[in-house]
């Protein structure tokens, strides 16, 4: 193979998806249907489709038909499959509070649920596969998120500013210099409230958030959450997490055990190829309190932006500790060319470009097998998912 192949990427219609962000990016008329995630990868849950002269093939099947050639020796020997999944993520409403397991926890949980005979698509199942799911989100528009527990005394200040009697028990815990066990107990107490008490707590906090006051960014996110989930006490948990506002081009990395939620905006997400999500609120879906609490890292403090480096001027690389993936942003002004050092997926996010002679518009994507020469011409931006060169 000497060139890239075009992909057709499935779009997931989760309820929290935006009805306009992806449509606006691709230049089409928005519909009323939510478009949440465009999956760019070979995960069996929704693999991209490869366009060939013989018709469409699933990307996982396309790779497995000649894995050494398509992955390259380095990636094939290290992972045996495409180890990353890239997405265009468009949030119109808050996503669930969630965390992802370590590799060891994912493997043991997956085996345990398989042995128990729990179907993969069962609503109460926690583990869809045996992999961890570290991830990076890079903003394409202003993007709001919650990630990691705030320093306790900062949370005391936030909660106290709301002047809400229902929050006093939480304030007392946070003011006592709590350790990890205390934070775990506080979270468990919120998650296990009987339904009537949970709804009462959520409505009390929602009413307090309606008033203007200190911490306007926190209040704005809290109000948005309360509008979407008026009876969900997860709004209390959300107030304990760092509020993050990303400008376009900024990114955060979310490792195992970090409680987080995306609030709104459009971004490029890249992760290890997994669909393991342990939920902790702001969702009608199943919450396994014990599994979630056992997964979480109850450390406190801010979440830093991902370091980005530029080696050529046109390409910006986002550096994380994940061995499975690296994200690069390439601003094309005339032309850009490179040789894929392992499997890569590119997606156009801006401009009208030509990729190996074929015209591409925003949201169009391609797969590059290892060793393929790729040339992109025109003016626009592409994001490229790849395996870090030091892996393997």
363 φ/ψ sector (left φ>0, alpha ψ -120 to 50, else beta): left
Residue 204, token pair as written in the block: 């009390």
Task: Report the DSSP pairing between strands 326-339 and 241-246.
Answer: unpaired
Residue 279 is among the residues annotated as catalytic for this protein: yes
CA pair distance 96, 284, nearest whole angstrom: 9
Burial of 284 per CB tally in 10 Å (0-12, 13-18, 19+): exposed
Phi, psi of 161 (to 5 degrees): -65, -20
Catalytic residue among 105, 279, 317, 386: 279
**216-228 and 195-209 helices cross at what angle (nearest 10)?**
140
> Do residues 61 and 239 lie in contact, with contact meaning Cβ atoms separated by under 8 Å?
no
Report residue 7 as tokens.
């992909």
Per residue, the 3-state secondary structure of 243-312, as one string, reads EEEECCCCEEEECCCCCEEEEEEEEEEEEECCCCCEECCCCCCCCCHHHHHHHCCCCECCCCECCEEECC
Would you please indicate which residues are annotated as catalytic (active-site) residues?
Answer: 279
């Amino acid at each position: 193979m000497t060139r890239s192949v075009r992909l057709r990427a499935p779009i997931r219609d989760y309820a929290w998806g935006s009805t306009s962000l992806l449509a606006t990016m691709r230049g089409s008329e928005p519909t009323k249907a939510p478009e949440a995630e465009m999956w760019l990868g070979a995960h069996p849950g929704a693999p991209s489709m490869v366009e060939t002269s013989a018709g469409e093939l699933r990307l996982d099947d396309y790779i497995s038909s000649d894995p050494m050639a398509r992955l390259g020796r380095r990636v094939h020997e290290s992972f045996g499959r495409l180890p990353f999944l890239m997405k265009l993520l468009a949030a119109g409403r808050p996503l669930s509070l969630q965390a992802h397991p370590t590799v060891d926890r994912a493997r043991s949980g997956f085996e345990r649920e398989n042995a128990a005979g729990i179907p993969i698509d069962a609503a109460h199942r926690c583990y869809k596969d045996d992999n961890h799911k570290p991830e990076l989100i890079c903003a394409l528009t202003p993007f709001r998120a919650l990630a990691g527990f705030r320093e306790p005394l900062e949370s005391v200040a936030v909660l106290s500013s709301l002047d809400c009697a229902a929050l006093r028990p939480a304030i007392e815990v946070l003011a006592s210099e709590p350790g990890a066990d205390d934070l775990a107990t506080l979270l468990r107490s919120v998650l296990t409230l009987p339904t009537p008490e949970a709804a009462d707590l959520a409505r009390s906090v929602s009413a307090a958030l309606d008033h203007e006051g200190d911490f306007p960014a926190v209040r704005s996110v809290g109000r948005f959450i309360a509008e979407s989930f008026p009876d969900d006490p997860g709004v209390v948990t959300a107030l304990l997490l760092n509020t993050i506002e990303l400008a376009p081009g900024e990114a955060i990395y979310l490792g195992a055990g970090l409680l987080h939620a995306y609030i709104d905006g459009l971004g490029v997400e890249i992760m290890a190829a997994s669909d393991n999500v342990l939920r902790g609120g702001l969702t009608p879906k199943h919450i396994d309190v014990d599994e979630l609490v056992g997964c979480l890292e109850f450390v406190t403090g801010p979440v830093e932006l991902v370091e980005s480096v530029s080696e050529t001027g046109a390409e910006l690389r986002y550096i994380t500790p994940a061995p499975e993936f690296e994200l690069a942003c390439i601003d094309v002004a005339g032309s850009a060319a490179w040789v894929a050092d392992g499997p890569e997926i590119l997606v156009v996010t801006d401009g009208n470009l030509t990729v190996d002679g074929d015209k591409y518009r925003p949201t169009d994507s391609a797969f590059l097998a290892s060793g393929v020469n790729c040339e992109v011409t025109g003016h626009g931006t592409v994001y490229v998912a790849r395996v870090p060169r030091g892996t393997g």
